[in-house]
Amino acid sequence: MPEEVNPFKIAQSQVDTVAEMLGLDAGLTEFLKNPQRELHVSFPVKMDDGTLKVFKGYRVQHNMARGPTKGGIRFHWDTDIDEVRALSMWMTWKCAVVGIPYGGAKGGVTCNPKEMSQNELEKLTRRFASEISIIMGPDTDIPAPDVYTNPQTMAWIMDTYSMNHGYTVPSVITGKPIPIGGSLGRNEATARGTVITIREACKKIGLELKGATVAVQGYGNAGSIAAYLIHDMGAKVVAVSDSQGGVLNWDGIDPHEAIKFKAETGTVVGFAGTETITNAELLELEVDILIPAALENVITSENAPNIKAKISGEAANGPNTPEADRIMHENGVMVIPDILANAGGVTVSYFEWVQGLNRLFWSEEEVNNRLEKIMVESFENVYAISQEKDINMRQAAYILAMGRVVEAIQLRGFYP
Ligand code: NAD
């Protein structure tokens, strides 16, 4: 993989840049650039046709200075250890940006969930949960959903962990279905957080959100919900996409109807009244707001000069390479970085964990109000640093986050 698109190398180079700005010493920088703990597993699953298939999976805990580690589990055919390392590191910074008491972790299984039956997915999930339960737990490391995992996946993980311990442990996982201890508002939280930060960014650059045009790449949990929340706030969603391609209608797409269409057909492609476009074309559309909500490295030095949006709200993790960041900043595009823009998910995961540990149930209004407060404050904190230091929003978010992690490390000291 070329260096520019290896997510772990990118995550490490981001640390290097900010470590220099913060004046960190070489040893501490090295510590922050590498995960504290990695578990690699290789495990068999009996498939429906009777064959035994071996899968590789990972759980990486990047840093635990600020608390137990937290981060999603991804099922994807391209998932590898470097992707999971990068994602775990971004989780550390994300939790620190919004000030919740967690370190960062991430998990992944290299598999193609689209080609597996529910039965096979359940077996794979339960076996993976057992494999990682030696480092997972409500006080140690708490997973959540990510690409191609969902509340049902979380329910299987919670049940597997609970069966192995002999009692129900809801707080071992977040993003659970509501009847078994999930939090109201969790399903929408990532997208709600993204849309809140976009709303705040609009105020800063003087863009009217009502009537603003929006393109959304990726139409899963983060993307489809961001599309309807921003639509419901008065913006005009003109393009959306998924792994099979994109659709465009300059008169506007109804995101609620597009969700129903995708649920029926498996893709947004072919949605009534739209023309088909590629994912690459979607990114370069003449829109006001872009929401990358799929995978990493979709904006690189090659297409960054062609991005016409005024704001890019990163619902996805790692959609920009560092070179893309530099180009977009020079071109005046306000990039709301992933570690801020999609932190709503982990924030409400934290609320779910707190409710679970304390046997509480908050109303959706209470969850959303608390989320709103944290997202607005975090956005303001990052924006203030970017203005004060004349740097882009990603660097500002890293300064805030790494500063908080370093403070925790130094207060705890270096054992022994
Ligand atoms: P998801 O599985 O619900 O949806 C992923 C979507 O991306 C699907 O619509 C899929 O078709 C589409 N997709 C896959 N490959 C694509 C490609 N090559 N081009 C265009 N679209 C493609 O996953 P999700 O939970 O919505 O996650 C999406 C992004 O948001 C990821 O980067 C994830 O890490 C990030 N994220 C998710 C959460 C969360 O709470 N779910 C929290 C923070 C960040």
- Model confidence over 284-301: pLDDT tens digits? 999 999 999 999 999 999
Assessment of whether the complete model's pTM goes beyond 0.95: yes
Percent of the chain scored above 90 by pLDDT? Answer: 99
Q: Do domains 3-169 and 188-336 have the same CATH topology?
A: yes
To which CATH superfamily is domain 188-336 assigned? Answer: NAD(P)-binding Rossmann-like Domain (3.40.50.720)
Q: How far is the CA of 3 from the centre of ligand 1 (A)?
A: 23
Domain boundaries, the chain: 3-169, 188-336
- Asked whether residue 90 carries a pLDDT value surpassing 90, the answer given is yes
Look over the chain and give the mean of its residue pLDDT values, rounded to a whole number. Answer: 97
CA atoms within 13 A on the CB side of 72: 27
Q: How far is the CA of 411 from the centre of ligand 1 (A)?
A: 36
Instruction: Give the separation between CA 248 and CA 130, rounded to whole angstroms.
Output: 44
Contact present, 271 and 258 (Cβ < 8 Å)? yes
Pocket test for ligand 1, best of 147, 174, 240 (most atoms within 8 A of CB): 147
Instruction: Give the separation between CA 287 and CA 284, rounded to whole angstroms.
Output: 8
Pick the CATH number of 3-169 from 2.40.100.10, 3.40.50.2000, 3.40.50.10860, 3.90.1150.10: 3.40.50.10860
Q: How far is the CA of 295 from the centre of ligand 1 (A)?
A: 6
For ligand 1, atom 39, the nearest C-alpha belongs to 146
Select which of 106, 123, 236, 310 is catalytic: 106
pLDDT for the residue numbered 76: 98
Residue 5: pLDDT band by 50, 70, 90 thresholds?
confident
Q: How far is the CA of 289 from the centre of ligand 1 (A)?
A: 18
Work out which ligand 1 atom sits closest to the CA atom of 144: 40
Work out which ligand 1 atom sits closest to the CA atom of 318: 32
Sheet containing strand 334-336, strands side by side: 275-277, 245-248, 236-242, 213-217, 289-292, 311-313, 334-336
For ligand 1, atom 22, the nearest C-alpha belongs to 243
Q: What are phi and psi of 219, to 5 degrees?
A: -125, 50
Contact present, 356 and 170 (Cβ < 8 Å)? yes
Residues in the chain: 416
Model confidence over 29-53: pLDDT tens digits?
999 999 999 999 999 999 999 999 9
Longest CA–CA span in the chain (Å) reads: 65
Pocket test for ligand 1, best of 77, 114, 146, 186 (most atoms within 8 A of CB): 146
- Asked whether residue 3 carries a pLDDT value surpassing 50, the answer given is no
Query: Left (φ > 0), alpha (ψ -120 to 50) or beta: where does 114 sit?
Result: alpha
Model confidence over 177-207: pLDDT tens digits?
999 999 999 999 999 999 999 999 999 999 9
Q: How far is the CA of 138 from the centre of ligand 1 (A)?
A: 25
* H or E, element range at 55: strand 52-63
Pocket of ligand 1 (CB under 6 A): 145-148, 190, 217-223, 241-243, 279, 293-295, 315-317, 342, 345
Confirm whether 53 is a catalytic residue: no
- Asked whether residue 1 carries a pLDDT value surpassing 90, the answer given is no
* H or E, element range at 270: none
